Amino acid sequence: MRLVIQRVLHASVSIRDQVVGRIGPGMLILCGVGNADTDADALWLARKVSRLRIFSDADGKMNESIAAVPGGDFLVISQFTLYGDCRKG
- Give the residue numbers annotated as catalytic, written as ranges: 79-81
55, 69 contact by CB (below 8 A) = yes
Residues 6+ apart with CB under 8 A from 60: none
Q: How many CB atoms lie within 10 A of CB 26?
A: 20
3-class state of residue 47 by DSSP? helix
